[in-house]
Amino acid sequence: MSNPDFRVIATEKGEGVTYTCGCPCVPTAVPADGAPGFEHCCCGKVHFAGAGAESALTAYLAGRAHRKREPRYTRGLATVGAVEVAWAFPQE
Ligand SMILES: [Zn+2]
Ligand SMILES: [Zn+2]
């Protein structure tokens, strides 16, 4: 799977990273206080943006691994501007 079309957008909480999700949402991860922000969309896709995004995503998914309905994810990394992005989308 190639990287989604990540792009920086302005939000009321500062600059965030979004992508075309395919559902009606505009999932946006906004880094704050040097920590990555994330959004886990209602459609099951999750992305983190900010320094440490990859390890934050790993910890987040590990914390959900016990869930019965947790899907398998395809993961990837991207850089948008200077922002590190890590994503995990459910496999079909
Ligand atoms: Zn959604
Ligand atoms: Zn979505």
Spacing, Cα 66 to ligand 2 middle (Å): 22
Ligand nearest to the CA of 90: 2
pTM attached to this predicted model: 0.95
Backbone φ/ψ region at 14: left (φ over 0), alpha (ψ -120 to 50), beta: left
pLDDT digits (tens, 9 = 90+) for 47-67: 999 999 999 999 999 999 999
- Ligand lying closest to the C-alpha of residue 25: 1
| Residue among 33, 37, 47, 41 at smallest CA distance from 76 | 47
Contact (Cβ atoms closer than 8 angstroms) between residue 25 and residue 42? yes
Range among 16-20, 32-36, 78-82 rated most confident:
16-20
Nearest partner of 48 among 26, 91, 17, 92, judged by Cα: 17
CA of 90 to the centre of ligand 2 (A): 11
| Ligand 2 centroid distance, CA of 26 (Å) | 7
| Tokens encoding 81 | 């501007």
